[in-house]
Amino acid sequence: MFGLFKKKTGEPKVLVATQNGRSVDITTLPDPVFAEKMLGDGFAVAPSDGIVAAPADGEIIDVQDSLHAYGIRTDDGLEILVHIGINTVALNGEGFQCHVKVGNRVKAGDVLAEADLGLMKEKGYETYTITLITNMDAVKNLQVEYVDTIRGETPVLTYNIG
Task: Check if 83 is active-site.
Answer: yes
What stretches of the chain adopt beta strand conformation (E)? 13-16, 21-24, 41-47, 51-53, 58-63, 69-74, 79-84, 96-98, 105-106, 111-115, 129-133, 139-144, 148-149, 155-161
Whole-number Cα distances in Å, 111 to 25, 39, 101: 23, 23, 12
Nearest to 26 by CA among 161, 157, 159: 157
Cβ–Cβ < 8 Å for 125, 25: no
Count how many residues are written for the chain.
Answer: 162
Nearest to 49 by CA among 135, 123, 118: 118
| Distance separating alpha carbons of residues 145 and 123, to the nearest angstrom | 30
Active-site residue, selected from the candidate residues 34, 45, 47, 83: 83
Positions marked active-site: 83
